[in-house]
Amino acid sequence: MSHTHIPIYRAVMEDSTRWAEATRALLTERRQKLFNFIGSPGAGKTALLEALARALKGRVQFAVIEGDCAGTRDAERLAAEGVQAVQIVTGAGCHLPAESVHQVLRDLPATGLDFVLVENVGNLVCPAAFDIGETAKLAVLSVTEGEDKPLKYPTLFRQAAATVLTKVDLLPHLRFNLAKCRAALHQIKAAAPVFELSGKTGQGIGAFADWLLRQK
Amino acid sequence: MSHTHIPIYRAVMEDSTRWAEATRALLTERRQKLFNFIGSPGAGKTALLEALARALKGRVQFAVIEGDCAGTRDAERLAAEGVQAVQIVTGAGCHLPAESVHQVLRDLPATGLDFVLVENVGNLVCPAAFDIGETAKLAVLSVTEGEDKPLKYPTLFRQAAATVLTKVDLLPHLRFNLAKCRAALHQIKAAAPVFELSGKTGQGIGAFADWLLRQK
Test A42 with B142 for CB contact under 8 angstroms.
yes
Specify the amino acid at residue A174.
L
Q: Please give the backbone phi and psi of residue B144, each rounded to the nearest 5 degrees, phi first.
A: -70, -15
Mean pLDDT, chain B, as a whole number?
93
A210 within domain boundaries = no
- pLDDT for A166-189, tens place per residue? 999 999 999 999 999 999 999 999
Please enumerate in sequence order all residues whose Cβ is within 8 A of that of B117, keeping only pairs 6 or more positions apart, or say none.
Answer: B35, B37, B49, B52, B62, B63, B64, B65
Pairwise CA distance, residues B141 & B89, whole Å: 23
A51 within domain boundaries = yes
CATH of the domain at B165: 3.40.50.300
Q: Is the dihedral of CA A155, B65, B200, B210 positive or negative?
A: positive
- pLDDT for B12-27, tens place per residue? 555 578 899 999 999 9
The Cα diameter of chain A in Å comes to: 47
B214 within domain boundaries = no
For chain A, what is the domain count?
Answer: 1
Is-contact A116 A63, C-beta < 8 A? yes
A2 within domain boundaries = no
A214 within domain boundaries = no
A182 within domain boundaries = yes
A59: closest CA of chain B, how far (Å): 30
- pLDDT for A106-161, tens place per residue? 999 999 999 999 999 999 999 999 999 999 999 999 999 999 999 999 999 999 99
Q: Is beta strand A62-68 parallel, antiparallel or unpaired with respect to A162-166?
A: unpaired
Specify the amino acid at residue A173.
H
Number of other residues whose CB lies within 10 A of the CB of residue B63: 21
The domain in which residue B177 lies consists of: 8-206
B119 within domain boundaries = yes
B10, B11, B17, B21 alpha-carbon torsion, rounded to 10°: 40
Pairwise CA distance, residues A191 & B95, whole Å: 27
- Residue A191 has a pLDDT of 85
Pairwise CA distance, residues B17 & B2, whole Å: 36
B211 within domain boundaries = no
What's the whole-model pTM score? 0.91
Test B71 with A145 for CB contact under 8 angstroms.
no
Which of B121, B152, B174 lies at the smallest CB-CB distance from A41?
B152
Test B144 with A144 for CB contact under 8 angstroms.
yes
Query: What is chain B's pLDDT, residue by residue, as a tens digit (216 residues)?
Result: 445 676 767 655 555 788 999 999 999 999 999 999 999 999 999 999 999 999 999 999 999 999 999 999 999 999 999 999 999 999 988 999 999 999 999 999 999 999 999 999 999 999 999 999 999 999 999 999 999 999 999 999 999 999 999 999 999 999 999 999 999 999 999 988 999 999 999 999 999 999 999 998
The residues with which A164 forms a beta bridge, in sequence order, are A140, A195
Which of B42, B124, B151 lies at the smallest CB-CB distance from A146?
B42
| Residues of B whose CB is below 8 A from A42 | 40, 142, 144-146, 149
